[in-house]
């Protein structure tokens, strides 16, 4: 028998790879009726990620490298009239894609 330097099948262990997210996406911040947003702050799991100013507010949410689980994205915004608006969204990482058809 020739030794190829490969481990014996009884010695191999199963793969213990953990899922890490590859998800990064843009969210569009919508303004309330009758008012426009002047600035917004985006938080991912309670940590400030981005502060935005301007007319068309869009934020890049990067969940890459995070483990499997639920992550909360909170957007706190201030309108031109001074109103404070909060939007909370929940995203799940490492979810299998659904096949349509």
pLDDT tens-digit profile of 46-59? Answer: 989 888 888 778 88
Domains detected in the chain: 24-93 (2.60.40.10)
pTM of the model: 0.68
What does the pLDDT average to over 9-22? 59
Sort 42 into a burial class: Cβ within 10 Å, 0-12 / 13-18 / 19+. Answer: buried
The predicted pLDDT at position 86 comes to 92
pLDDT band for position 4 (50/70/90)?
Answer: very low
- Contacts of 43 by beta carbon, 8 Å cutoff, 6+ apart: 49, 72, 73, 74, 75, 76
């Amino acid at each position: 028998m020739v030794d190829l330097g490969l481990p014996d099948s009884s010695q191999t262990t199963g793969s213990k790879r953990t899922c890490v997210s590859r998800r990064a996406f843009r969210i569009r911040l919508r303004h309330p009726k009758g008012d426009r947003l002047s600035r917004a702050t985006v938080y991912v799991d309670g940590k400030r990620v981005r502060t935005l100013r301007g007319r068309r507010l869009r934020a890049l949410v990067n969940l890459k490298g995070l483990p499997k689980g639920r992550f909360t994205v909170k957007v706190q915004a201030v309108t031109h009239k001074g109103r404070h608006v909060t939007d909370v969204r929940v995203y799940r990482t490492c979810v299998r894609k659904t096949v349509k058809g």
